[in-house]
Amino acid sequence: EAGVTQFPSHSVIEKGQTVTLRCDPISGHDNLYWYRRVMGKEIKFLLHFVKESKQDESGMPNNRFLAERTGGTYSTLKVQPAELEDSGVYFCASSQALALNYGYTFGSGTRLTVV
């Protein structure tokens, strides 16, 4: 079974540019999550999709972040325009059901550096 795949693994962009991160969940996983770790801080929740619908986006930091999951398959997270404080590692995870007994499978993350 293929795991959760994230593209790109690394991205370096200038402040003010746009970046799009992609996550391919495990096939058949309806639940898809985005988390982020900024330097020196905890990994924090950004949002949760159930299929193509946003179940919870309470962790999205501001309106420069836009997440989509067209067709309930892969998801994209766009940052526009990027700011220095957006630098960090962005993780995607997927699960079959609402987590608990199944656990979450995480991708390797995208390391975003804004300069």
Partner 1 sequence: AQSVTQLDSHVSVSEGTPVLLRCNYSSSYSPSLFWYVQHPNKGLQLLLKYTSAATLVKGINGFEAEFKKSETSFHLTKPSAHMSDAAEYFCVVTENSGYSTLTFGKGTMLLVSP
67 binds partner 1 (CB under 8 A): no
> Under a CB-based contact definition with an 8 Å cutoff, are residues 84 and 67 in contact?
no
48 binds partner 1 (CB under 8 A): yes
What minimum distance in Å lies between the beta carbon of 108 and partner 1?
4
> Under a CB-based contact definition with an 8 Å cutoff, are residues 104 and 26 in contact?
no
Distances (CA, A) of 1 to 4, 98, 99: 10, 20, 18
Nearest to 110 by CA among 18, 2, 37, 15: 37
Single residue of 91, 94, 112, 114 touching partner 1 by CB under 8 A: 91
Task: State which amino acid sits at residue 22.
Answer: R
97 binds partner 1 (CB under 8 A): no
106 binds partner 1 (CB under 8 A): yes
Count of residues binding partner 1 (CB under 8 A)? 26
| Residue ranges binding partner 1 (CB under 8 A) | 3-4, 33, 35, 41-45, 48, 55-56, 59, 91, 93, 98-101, 103-109
